[in-house]
Amino acid sequence: MRWNLRVKMLLSVGAIVLIVLGTSTVVHISGVQQDYLETLEWRSQALAQTLIKKAQELATMAPDFNRNDLLELLNYWVKDVYESNTHLTHIAAIDPDGIIAAHTEKSLWDSSVKSPALRKALGYRKQLTVLDDTTYHMLFPIVNESELYLGSIDIGIPKDIIDRQVRQILYHSASLFVLFVGLGCVAASIAGHFLTKPINHLVSIARELADGNLSQCIEGTERKDEIGMLAQSFAHMRDRIEQQIEDLYQLNDGLEQRVERRTAELAREKYIVDTFLANVPDSIYFKDREGRIIRANKAHARRMGLKAPREEVGKTDFDFFPTEPARRKYAQEQEIIQTGLPAINIEEEDISPDGQVFWHLTTKMPLRDEHGEVIGIFGISRDITTLKQTEGELARYREHLEDIVKERTTELTLSNKRLEQEITERTQAEHALRVSEQQYRLLAENVKDGIGIVQKDKLMFANHAFAAMTGYSLKQLLGTDPARLFPDQASPSSVTLEDHTEIHRTARQAELKMENMRNIWTEIEQTAIVWNSHPALLLTVRDITARKRQEQRLEQERARLESENRHLKSTIKDRYRFGPLVGKSQVMQKVYELLVNAAAAEVNVWLCGESGTGKELIAHTLHQVSRRKSQAFIAVNCASIPESLFEREFFGHQKGAFTGADRSTAGLFDRAHQGTLFLDEVTELSPGSQAKLLRVLQDGVYTPLGSIHPKTADVVIIAATNKNCREEIRQGRLRKDFFYRIGVIEISVAPLRDRKEDLSFLLEHLLEEYRQKQIRVQGSDMPSNFPIDQTMLPPEIVRAFYAYDWPGNVRELQNVLQRYLATRDPHPVLSLLGASVSQTVSYAENLPPTLPEAVRTLEKRMITHMLGQTQNRIGKTAEQLGMPVRTLQYKIKKYQLDTKN
């Protein structure tokens, strides 16, 4: 309920009147009641005084009368007084002991006072008023001249008489109160009407002004009091409001025109920006301070595996990438937001939602509001996966070739040194090429693409980058036919869009004719769009002149490297050594080729071969030609490790892992970290141990005994065995999955009996080792002309060597040769080899006495024999002998062999 001023004033005045009248009435009622009671008390006291005097007179007459006579006389007086005061209930005289001496009711004579309150009042011996259920008792003491208490006079007044008198008084007082309240309300209403009339008028004016009605007449402006001042203020305020409303109408008209113009401009700019974002090939995105995407273009959505940019809004990098890369990106972006500094040209490697690894060059800048506060980041990213893959291929190819060249330069002759110089020059050129490529990439990635819009065979829009690319000014470019810029290619032209909902995009390369008549290579992406409600083409032009030239140089360099690689491979095939390995046979050439491939690929290798064929030496060689050669090579004989100690030996253990483990010990995987682990006699491992090792090979991690923290296993494993792997698998002693996990490349080492053509090279190599050993032992005491070469071997020893099957292979050959060199007595050697010498093949008989002559004679006989077997077919003969065709032709010419008959 809303209270106006008039009602409030009436209520206030009425409340004051009620308070005053109520107080007056209460005071009046209390006074009237008190006066009535005093009147009763006064009249009762007068009666009592009369009786008291009578009683005192009786006391003086006591000697002349007996007690009964006195009581009769006292009772007479009491009844006389009672009859003359009819409003009393009783009059009684009570002695000091509470015995009623006289009473208007004779039956109560000589009886005691029963009321406890009355008996208690008698004891006070003073004037008192006592109230019981129906009667007011007024007690007056009787005292003689000697102040001796003789008793009390009890005068009783009915209670209902007093209550009736009080009710009458209250009724008259209430009537007066109602009369006065009514008169007060009428007076307050009349006063409130005259006081609130001008104020109510001002209130109604204020409401009209609030509703926009400014035509109301304001009264009271001529008054000189406060009401007049308020009326004048309202009139002034109305005038001011009218003026401001008129000013606002004029300002609104101007603002509406400006808003319409600005809205049209913003719509046009928004269309250009949206079209650019939708068609630019680079990934563009905006994020808030919490890393949530607030806007992105279609290229970024495609990279995230989404169909439309709106699906990205509100998501973070944690929704698209693994936790660690997403955390790294978030930390980088938070640093940009905190410092306000951009991060330019950052090369990042990421994994797309479909699992593909891609590289991109990213620039991230702080996004600021109109007050300069950083509210997020803006990022633009360009895919450089193809370029990184090319760099990686070149780097791997270069490292691979460098390793081969380093090995080759230590063993080839003077011609090889010249080749080493050429390879060094190639490496320098490749380094210069890589530096040049990096400079190009940094330059190209920071240059903005040219943007243009073609409509009706005219260039309707172009940015500054496009103008700078052509050499023309923007004024010269606008309205130009694109055929003028691309004379040698089909120029971009207008298209008719039957379906504006689908964007058609094509990309091609073309030469652009600059203003200075020079031509540059560009990459053009054409996208069909709608421009000002008509079909048009959006051109994204990128200068790729440097990249085109770079591709040509890279293609030339790739062709040269491939030619060099083919030349190196052919050179390897003609070699009789590969590091410490010796042999020129076809089987050894195959081993060399597999070693090169395994070293380049860094994969696990399985070596199969009989005992003594040099499997550990091959493993060492593979380690030395790989990129891990600077790291450890750890060899272990698996037959010496029981299954109970397998985990301790391979994985290591922590201190306290078992009883007696008073310190932590590194395992084989720790010691061979980033190097090579050679497992000799690997088939001796139990299937349980094979399963544990297989788990490490599959997962790439292992946990030392007593530890809860896994470690990464970064090793290349070379496993060797002298057993038949397939037979071991069939017997269940070798797990099939374990064999296939290690045997990525399987190298079979041929026994010495299957490559007798390498015997001459092996003897030469072993004799040279023996000579170097003697030099180290004897030093200057050894004669300088001490002959240690193949010429010192007797012919019968050489013939025995070629005839023997060598079941112990190269190890047995080394042992037999050292036995002869130690004693220089051929008989023990011939006796040792005698059982096999009797089975010497016919073409090994009657050989010359010296080893070189015997080799040449044997080689000539073998070539002649094989030519006869193949009917003088040079290619077939070379294949059977395990040598290149060119080498066979050279030896046929050297030995003057007739291939016609």
Q: Which CATH number belongs to the domain containing residue 312 in this structure? A: 3.30.450.20
- Co-location of 453 and 439 in the same domain: no
Residue 237, pLDDT > 80, answer no
> Does 269 fall in a domain?
no
Residue 488, pLDDT > 80, answer no
Residue 96, pLDDT > 80, answer no
Q: Which of 137-141, 193-197, 507-511 has the lowest mean pLDDT?
A: 193-197
Query: What is the tens place of the pLDDT at every residue in 874-885?
Result: 888 887 777 777
Q: Give the best-scoring range by mean pLDDT among 69-83, 345-359, 642-656, 822-836.
A: 642-656
SS3 124: coil
Question: How far, CA to CA in Å, does 150 sit from each of 48, 127, 128, 303?
Answer: 14, 14, 16, 128
Q: How many CB atoms lie under 10 A from the CB of residue 708?
A: 7
On whether the CB atoms of residues 679 and 718 are closer than 8 A, the answer is yes
pLDDT at residue number 685: 92
CA contacts within 13 A on the Cβ side of 745 = 23
Find the mean pLDDT for residues 320-340: 85
**Quick one: what percent of the chain has pLDDT higher than 90?**
10
Residue at a domain's end among 362, 383, 404: 383
> Does 162 fall in a domain?
yes
pLDDT at residue number 670: 93
Residue 841, pLDDT > 50, answer no
> Cα separation of 739 and 718, whole Å?
12
- Co-location of 582 and 517 in the same domain: no
Q: Which of 24-28, 340-344, 525-529 has the lowest mean pLDDT?
A: 24-28
> Does 510 fall in a domain?
yes
- Co-location of 375 and 453 in the same domain: no
pLDDT at residue number 27: 66
Residue 501, pLDDT > 60, answer no
Residue 193, pLDDT > 70, answer no
Mean pLDDT for all residues in the chain: 76
Q: How many CB atoms lie under 10 A from the CB of residue 865?
A: 13
> Does 706 fall in a domain?
yes
Residue 495, pLDDT > 50, answer no
Residue 431, pLDDT > 90, answer no
Exposed e or buried b for every residue in 371-386, given b needs 16+ CB within 10 A?
eeeeebbbbbbbbbee
Instruction: Indicate which CATH number applies to the domain containing 639.
Output: 3.40.50.300
Q: Please, is 330 exposed, middle or buried when counting C-beta atoms within 10 Å of its C-beta (0-12, 13-18, 19+)?
A: middle
Query: What is the tens place of the pLDDT at every residue in 646-687?
Result: 988 999 988 888 888 888 889 999 999 999 999 999 999 999
- Co-location of 683 and 597 in the same domain: yes
pLDDT at residue number 33: 58
> Cα separation of 720 and 613, whole Å?
11
On whether the CB atoms of residues 697 and 743 are closer than 8 A, the answer is no
- Co-location of 136 and 72 in the same domain: yes
**Structure pTM?**
0.37
Residue 869, pLDDT > 70, answer yes
Question: How far, CA to CA in Å, does 557 sit from each of 285, 408, 423, 553, 601?
Answer: 38, 21, 13, 6, 22
On whether the CB atoms of residues 655 and 661 are closer than 8 A, the answer is yes
> Does 213 fall in a domain?
no
Residue 606's pLDDT band, with cuts at 50, 70 and 90, is very high
Residue 57's pLDDT band, with cuts at 50, 70 and 90, is low
- Co-location of 867 and 725 in the same domain: no
- Co-location of 429 and 490 in the same domain: no
Residue at a domain's end among 170, 195, 216: 170
> Does 32 fall in a domain?
yes
**Residue carrying the six token digits 């409130």:** 192
Q: Which helix (H) or strand (E) holds 697?
A: helix 687-699
Q: How many domains does the chain divide into?
A: 6
**Residue carrying the six token digits 């200057």:** 780
pLDDT at residue number 84: 64
Find the mean pLDDT for residues 763-779: 82
Find the mean pLDDT for residues 177-205: 69
Find the mean pLDDT for residues 454-477: 84
Helices 809-823, 759-778: inter-axial angle, 10-degree rounding? 50
Residue 169, pLDDT > 80, answer no
Residue 496's pLDDT band, with cuts at 50, 70 and 90, is very low
Residue 623, pLDDT > 50, answer yes
pLDDT at residue number 21: 67
Residue 64, pLDDT > 60, answer no
Residue 619, pLDDT > 90, answer yes
Residue 768, pLDDT > 80, answer yes
- Co-location of 741 and 771 in the same domain: no
Residue 62, pLDDT > 50, answer yes
- Co-location of 645 and 770 in the same domain: no
Higher pLDDT: 882 or 504? It is 882
Find the mean pLDDT for residues 521-548: 84
pLDDT at residue number 609: 92
pLDDT at residue number 669: 93
SS3 711: strand
pLDDT at residue number 8: 60
Q: Which of 158-162, 282-286, 422-426, 802-806 has the lowest mean pLDDT?
A: 422-426
Residue 836's pLDDT band, with cuts at 50, 70 and 90, is very low
> Does 275 fall in a domain?
no
- Co-location of 136 and 28 in the same domain: yes
- Co-location of 149 and 17 in the same domain: yes
pLDDT at residue number 839: 41
Query: What is the tens place of the pLDDT at every residue in 406-416?
Result: 666 565 555 55
Residue 789, pLDDT > 70, answer no
pLDDT at residue number 479: 87
Query: What is the tens place of the pLDDT at every residue in 537-571?
Result: 888 888 888 888 888 777 877 776 666 555 555 55
- Co-location of 712 and 761 in the same domain: no
Find the mean pLDDT for residues 723-729: 90
> Cα separation of 802 and 515, whole Å?
81
Residue at a domain's end among 719, 747, 775: 747
Residue 503, pLDDT > 60, answer no
> Does 837 fall in a domain?
yes
pLDDT at residue number 835: 42
Q: Which helix (H) or strand (E) holds 393?
A: helix 385-409
Find the mean pLDDT for residues 82-107: 71
For residue 5, which of 228, 222, 227, 224 has the smallest C-alpha distance?
227
Residue 600, pLDDT > 80, answer yes
β strands within 29-134, DSSP E:
90-94, 100-103, 128-131
Domain ranges, residue 499: 448-544
Q: Which of 42-56, 64-78, 468-482, 676-690 has the lowest mean pLDDT?
A: 64-78
pLDDT at residue number 785: 45
